[in-house]
Amino acid sequence: MLRKLIPLAMLILSGSAMAQMGVGTKTPADSAQLDVVTSNKGVLLPRVELVAIDVQSPIVGEMKESLLVYHVGNSALTSGFYYWKGNKWVRLSSEDSITDRMNNSFTIGANPNLNGEESLIITDTKNHSVYLAISSIANNGEFVTNLIDNQNFITQLANKEEFITNIINELKNSYENVTYENGAFYVTHEVNGQWVKELIDLTTVLQGAGESLITDGVIGILVDGVVETEVEKAVLKSLKLTLNNNAITSAHIQDGTIKPIDMEEAEPNKILITGVDRKPVWKDRTQVAPNFFYMPAVIFDTSVTGTATRDLYQEYVNQFTGGSKTVATAVAYPISHGPAGTVPMVYSGGIIGSAGAPNDISVLNQSDLYYYITYYDEEVFENLSISADGKLTYTVKANASSNSYMNIVFVLK
């Protein structure tokens, strides 16, 4: 019986020993699976030579996330600690692995990725370029709002060759490890033993005092009443924009960019004209120019008694276009109308214009007009009515005189 109890006791004790392990201590920390205690030695992790960032070799077996090794370095990868995450090796960040990239060039040019949009092009020493649309910079409230609280930095910022470097150096005073990537600034720091890269919000870091944008041919900075508008100090800044009188003229506005919707709203049927002070003013359309005209002369055949219909709008189009809006030469059309039994008089002479005049006279749309009879001979005509599209219905009385007329007026709606 004693022989059976001894192995059982050893098994229990060995199981307890496997729960936690201490090296250099008999009492490992409760929270540690392995607790190494020493005052003059370190821990050597496996030293291997990795092949590539996404290649498991030389490690064999199933890859577990967080597997840690020290890569001795080669032409493919820089030496350092790497851990496996997802399907690739990730290097642990350290101060010597963070690169500060100065901008190698600072130019204005076309962005090939956006149909040649005019952009501010910043290229670093690694030949990586960032394109910032000029139109976006001028209107983007997140583009270095309130740049910094000292005039010296604003002056340095305007020197194109030091644009990014100056911002990084200034941020380093508060953030230490600062990098610039893809148009944004980041800080890399240690949090709970892990290296973390975070975006820097410039709107909360770079605060200016009493600064605003002004222009006198060049955009500059107004700080405490001192104006800097020299070309070498010109800078774009998302603050208050103040323009000199007459600084923006029609020469600076691209043709076709001002639409009717951009103009000041007015009451219906108003026309924008120039007043006696040479400034534009809205006027009632009826007070600016006549909004009516008389229909061209036509012939009513009253030789036969009866009812007839006449298309007043078509008669107007015929006479203003020579019979057709789509044919350059004259097209014959009836100039006279009357009740059934009358024979229309046909006209084919077209229109005769002065030297240099267009072939046709422009006409209004049928729906743009109201149609009126302002006078008719009551001894000749009766039962007159006009439809909304300009068709006149009338009756010629019995024994009507042939010497008569009526006035037809078209009014613009």
State the chain's mean pLDDT as an integer. Answer: 75
In the predicted structure, residue 20 carries a pLDDT above the cut 70: yes
Give the model's pLDDT for residue 175: 53
Range scoring the smallest mean pLDDT among 126-130, 169-173, 371-375, 409-413: 169-173
Give the model's pLDDT for residue 173: 54
The more confident residue out of 108 and 10 is 108
Nearest to 386 by CA among 362, 410, 412, 404: 410
In the predicted structure, residue 294 carries a pLDDT above the cut 50: yes
Give the model's pLDDT for residue 390: 95
Domain ranges of the chain: 42-92, 103-243, 295-352+359-412
Give the model's pLDDT for residue 131: 76
Q: What distances in angstroms separate CA 3 from CA 6, 8, 10, 11, 13, one per listed residue?
A: 6, 9, 11, 13, 16
Contact 23, 34 (CB under 8 A): yes
Q: Which pair of structure tokens corresponds to residue 41? A: 């030695």
In the predicted structure, residue 289 carries a pLDDT above the cut 90: no
Range scoring the smallest mean pLDDT among 45-49, 352-356, 399-403: 399-403
Task: Using a cut of 0.75, tell me whether the model's pTM lies above it.
Answer: no
Give the model's pLDDT for residue 195: 78
Give the model's pLDDT for residue 373: 96
The model's confidence at residue 243, banded by pLDDT at 50, 70 and 90, is: low
Q: Which pair of structure tokens corresponds to residue 47? A: 């030293």
Give the model's pLDDT for residue 70: 93
The more confident residue out of 240 and 276 is 276
Q: What is the mean pLDDT of residues 304-325?
A: 92
